[in-house]
């Protein structure tokens, strides 16, 4: 069994608590569903936000999900590169799995599809 990173990102329209929490939950639920992940298989989740999203901690949405209360979570600010995508939440889900790198499905939603068009579903 290996530890694999599953990437994902989503954008929000406004810097408000509920849209941030809803977007975080939507993104994680799609990552979990696409990769058939159970919370007990998660080593950790690293969450970053762009500096323009400071209304809440996105990890609160994950903590509220059934079975995710013991999963280690960490939030941080994304590197503020000029001209980079704004209003963006990114997840790096570290999962214990027998899947190969090629079998992992990364999830990019909304404006975040521009980050990795090669990995974004049409």
Tell me whether residue 116 is one of the annotated catalytic residues: yes
Tell me whether residue 60 is one of the annotated catalytic residues: no
* Active-site residue, selected from the candidate residues 17, 78, 88, 103: 78
* Active-site residue, selected from the candidate residues 88, 90, 103, 105: 90
Tell me whether residue 78 is one of the annotated catalytic residues: yes
Task: Determine contact, residues 62/73, Cβ cutoff 8 Å.
Answer: yes
Tell me whether residue 7 is one of the annotated catalytic residues: yes
* Active-site residue, selected from the candidate residues 7, 26, 60, 105: 7
Binding-site residue numbers are: 7, 90, 108
Cα 12 off chain centre by: 13
* Active-site residue, selected from the candidate residues 26, 60, 105, 116: 116
* Active-site residue, selected from the candidate residues 13, 16, 63, 103: 63
CA angle 96, 99, 104 (to 5 degrees): 95
Q: Exposed (0-12), middle (13-18) or buried (19+): which is 122, by Cβ within 10 Å?
A: exposed
Binding-site residue numbers for prephenate are: 7, 90, 108
Tell me whether residue 103 is one of the annotated catalytic residues: no
CA distance 84 to 96: 31
Q: Which residues form the catalytic set?
A: 7, 63, 75, 78, 90, 108, 116
């Amino acid at each position: 069994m290996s530890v694999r990173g599953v990437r994902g990102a989503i954008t929000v329209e406004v810097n408000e608590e509920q849209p941030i929490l809803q977007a975080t939950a939507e993104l994680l639920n799609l990552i979990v569903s696409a990769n058939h992940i159970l919370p007990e298989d998660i080593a950790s989740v690293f969450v970053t936000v762009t500096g323009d999203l400071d209304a809440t901690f996105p990890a609160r949405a994950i903590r509220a999900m059934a079975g995710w209360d013991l999963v280690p979570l960490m939030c941080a600010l994304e590197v503020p590169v000029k001209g980079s995508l704004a209003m963006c939440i990114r997840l790096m889900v570290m999962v214990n799995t027998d899947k190969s790198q090629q079998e992992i499905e990364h999830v990019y939603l909304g404006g975040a599809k521009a980050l990795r068009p090669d990995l974004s579903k049409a």
